[in-house]
Amino acid sequence: MKKLLYLSAAALFVIGCTNSSTEEGTTDTTATTNDAVQTETLQEQYNETVGTGKYNETNFTVSPTVDAELAKKGDAIYGAKCQSCHKTTDERLVGPGFKGVSGRRTPVWIMNFLTNTDEMIDVDPAMQEELEICMVRMPDQALAEVDAHAMVEFFRENDGVK
């Protein structure tokens, strides 16, 4: 009898805890609405040269010449994380080809994209257009700052910067 009483109390506890304050059949859209408003605000403030993230022209610069050592590291990262979806030419695979990216985008923008991928896709109009074409959202590769910098140098080398 005690077991039945304990089981009943446990069941009521579980039901009570899982029943949210919204009525059955309705969904709480507050979080979704807040996300949409935040994204819209970010889009209004968006700078297409810098992107959105922690990097800007004062805390990230590249030298006029490619850092060959970093570019080599970037090539290894490309082989491990990027090659299955991107080519080094202008040919599209799953995502766009990398050829010319360092001419289309600033090094700061690339750093922000590689280290803040999800937010950049959400607010960058060109990335949203690209997403409509590719139909596959680029996953965040969780690159450390030095790895993202290596990719910037890899892109620059791929585009013929000496």
**What is the CATH number for 139?**
1.10.760.10
149 or 15, greater pLDDT: 149
- Does residue 101 fall inside a structural domain? yes
Amino acid at 105: R
- Does residue 27 fall inside a structural domain? no
- Does residue 42 fall inside a structural domain? no
For the question of whether the overall pTM of this predicted structure is more than 0.85, the answer is: no
Q: Which domain holds residue 87?
A: 47-158
As for how many domains the chain has, the answer is 1
Cβ atoms 77, 111 nearer than 8 A: no
- Does residue 33 fall inside a structural domain? no
**Does 98 have pLDDT greater than 80?**
yes
- Does residue 134 fall inside a structural domain? yes
- Does residue 3 fall inside a structural domain? no
Mean pLDDT of 23-52: 62
- Does residue 152 fall inside a structural domain? yes
Sign of the alpha-carbon torsion through 147, 149, 150, 155: positive
What is the rounded (10 degree) CA torsion for 159, 102, 139, 146?
Answer: 90
- Does residue 52 fall inside a structural domain? yes
